[in-house]
Structure 1
Amino acid sequence: MRTMVDGVATYRIGGSGGASVVYLPGAGLVGLDFLNLTSVPGAAHLLYDRGGTGWSAPAALPRSAAEVAHELRRVAGPGPHVLVGHSMGAVYARRFAQLYPASVAGLLMLDPGHEDLFAHLPAEAASLNDRMKPDPAQLPELTPEQLSAARTAYESLLASWPPDVREELIGYHLTKWRIALLESANLESAVYDELRGGGPVPDVPTIVLTAGAGNPAWSAYGPPELVRKALDGIRDLHASMAAAVTDGEHRILEGATHQVPHLEQPDAVRAALSDLLAKLR
């Protein structure tokens, strides 16, 4: 199932002849975390692990968005593709679209990040965001209790995965959790600036999905009123992303959190992907 392309681990699922759907995981996630979406018919699905993540070859982290986009072009080919991007993966998807507009047929954005995020949030949100950024090197190892709780949560979220794949994924997440912090370290300092100066994103059918429950980590650092206002701002931003294209749509995934919306509301995400593919047909 897993193959290597220039040191990048890839997983191709589904037949040829349909649309090409490529998944860009958020920081800390890997291709196989999106296996549950590949049951959507009428498409050939490509899951992959960015360099330095998952089962791909090691790479120095963080990387520029352009590096990631060029890597994806080598792995996925010219397309055109439907890009399914989650969180930071959605930022990378938009950078790919800037650099290779002819290779993009549509975009499905799962609670995406955006370079103008803080323009839509209360002023206090920037300080809240800074407090949520620990130094990966200073974080202690997970305690046995934390590992047990995390394993239980992953076993529930990944219950429908084949047992061998589920165990491999859980083992990865329990041991490589610092990668999320390493990979996203330059998101606000460099990657967002790449998008600001990178030119237009092509006007293709786009569906933007907002995690209705937001980011639970924010509640540990900020008061409820600030967290609510921040979530309202994110919803406004996502609505404006959808409105910026001719055929755009914004949907709320009620009850889903930022970290794994496609695992908590899989039917709604699969429905959005099906609807996007139908637009293209």
Structure 2
Amino acid sequence: MRPEGVQVHGDDGPPVLLLPGGAATCDGFFPGLVEGLVADPGARVIVHDRRGTGSSSEPGTLADAPDHLHTLVAALGTGPVVAVGQSLGGAVAALWAARYPQDLAGLVLLDMTPVNDAEICRQVERRTAVMARISAVPLLGPALIGGTLRLAGLQMKRGLRPDCAAAVDRTLEMDVDQLVRATAGLTELARQWRDGALPQIPAAVVTADRKADDPIRQAHARIARDLGTTPVSWPRATHSVHLDHPDEVLDAVRRVIAGQPVR
């Protein structure tokens, strides 16, 4: 019996599990990816909000996400999956692969939150906590957060195709408190991270178009090295690379499914 809140698109073929960023709901987060993967290579695409995120009514923490996903894959009986994770979803995918390597047939990490760098993770937790404190100020706080997000959304949507622009709007309709809970414990998990923990499986580590000496890009390079690959960066790619380079992301996932290198 399929667990509650799980959608599986496609009838057969290699299983792919999607992990959105932040605490966002998975449905619609990766525009075109589900349909593209079902069409070619005929994948089964698992859409699910892990505990504590999206529309899930079950409480959950970042630390217990690998255990939850391990149980989910076992309940679905899909065997090892290719996990596609953006931002915090990429960190979850890496943590899952380190704890349960037998669950993963491949990894696609899209500008993942660097769970291998405690200082960067501390900054992420601090920023979300500041957002929560501002949001808690009666009247003024929600208006300030909402205005800031709308402005960011306008900038992000420039030049995007319509379905990707719509995904920006859905993503920015965030529950700040839920986001804080979803990121809680990130710094401690990063402190516990050990290089060399990841399995040697087909993988793509996509990093935004940053300078070579950027700490996030360097952290991504270390993750890629652990996976036996090299990081990929496309011109003008942002943190939301799944939205500004959706076709390249689709191609990258297809290549990882096929065990081919991603460029």
- Give the TM-score of the pair, scaled to structure 1: 0.71
Deviations 1:196-248 (A, max 9, x none): 49x832211111000115xxxxxxxxxxxxxx67x6232233223222234x2
In 2 relative to 1, CA 94–75 (structure 1 residues): closer, same or farther, beyond 3 Å?
farther
Say yes or no: does 1:263 pair with 2:243: yes
Gaps of at least 5 residues in structure 1 are: 120-124, 214-227
Say yes or no: does 1:238 pair with 2:237: no
Q: Which amino acid aligns with 1:188?
A: T
Decide whether the 8 Å contact of 2:81 with 2:104 is kept in 1.
Answer: yes
In 2 relative to 1, CA 141–55 (structure 1 residues): closer, same or farther, beyond 3 Å?
same
Shift, 1:175, TM fit: 5.1
User: 1:218-257 counterparts in 2 under 5 A?
Assistant: 232-246=214-228, 248-257=229-238
Provide the secondary structure at the position in 2 that maps to 1:102: helix
Among 188, 209, 214, the residue aligned to 1:212: 209
CA distance in 1, matches of 2:82, 2:127: 32
Match of 1:108 in 2: 108
CA distance in 2, matches of 1:126, 1:103: 25
Deviations 1:161-208 (A, max 9, x none): 7x9xx59x946742524422221121002x2245449x8322111110
Q: Which amino acid aligns with 1:185?
A: A
CA distance in 1, matches of 2:49, 2:181: 15
Match of 2:179 in 1: 180
Deviations 1:76-95 (A, max 9, x none): 54521111122222222122
User: 1:193-204 counterparts in 2 under 5 A?
Assistant: 193=191, 195-196=193-194, 200-204=197-201
Say yes or no: does 1:134 pair with 2:129: yes
Greater strand proportion: 1
User: 1:1-281 counterparts in 2 under 5 A?
Assistant: 5-6=3-4, 9-16=5-12, 18-32=13-27, 33-38=29-34, 39-40=36-37, 41-42=40-41, 43-59=43-59, 61=61, 63-74=63-74, 76-117=76-117, 132-135=127-130, 136-139=132-135, 140-143=141-144, 145-146=147-148, 149=151, 159-160=162-163, 170=169, 173-174=172-173, 176-189=175-188, 191-193=189-191, 195-196=193-194, 200-213=197-210, 232-246=214-228, 248-258=229-239, 260-279=240-259
Aligned length: 247
- Give the TM-score of the pair, scaled to structure 2: 0.76
